[in-house]
Structure 1
């Protein structure tokens, strides 16, 4: 099974499927913006509003974390990941760490 075929859901049950639990899986990434983005963010913080460079960084970090979560599920021969959640933290003003985690399962029907 390829990464793109792994179903990732925040629900506990997948309608129409019975499955056995394999175990927990994680996908982790730490993202950073470059110096120019930081300068723009600093200026934006003076006048207020959305800091689009950081919003983009957050989306990229979540996408990368899910990609790595799927890779971990493939390594465990899973068909899906249920109960997926995100956790994130800032390591400094310009770095964000994001983990996607859930339970890898194998379909038995």
Structure 2
């Protein structure tokens, strides 16, 4: 599964491939109460809220992991045109989607 190439480009140099279909990796994450309180205090003084940065990084990584799993289950060799989408569900919850096109090398 880890050997599945993921690229944001449409073409993979030197590779011919056929399209298998759409693949997705979705996750929704939330912070724990202690980090949420710390983030609220940081909001007063300004600056980076590291708890939110960590939250988004973890959510992004999990979404890509699930995207790879979905591609592997379809028999893909790679995912092209990978993109992210994210949204806040509430003040302390984020959802992240990684999506792209699964392809099989010819």
TM-score, L = length of structure 2: 0.99
Unaligned stretches of 5+ in structure 1? none
Aligned counterparts of 2:34 and 2:54: Cα–Cα separation in 1: 14
Q: Out of 64, 70, 73, which is 2:71 matched to?
A: 73
- Residue 58 of structure 1 corresponds to which residue in structure 2? 56
How far, CA to CA, are the matches of 1:84 and 1:28 in structure 2? 13
Cα shift readout 1:3-25 (whole Å, capped 9, x = no counterpart): 21000000000001000000000
Q: Could you list the runs of 5+ residues in structure 2 that have no partner in the other structure?
A: none
- Output the aligned Cα RMSD: 0.3
TM-score, length of structure 1 as denominator length: 0.96
Number of the residue aligned with 1:91: 89
Partner SS for 2:2:
helix
Match of 2:26 in 1: 28
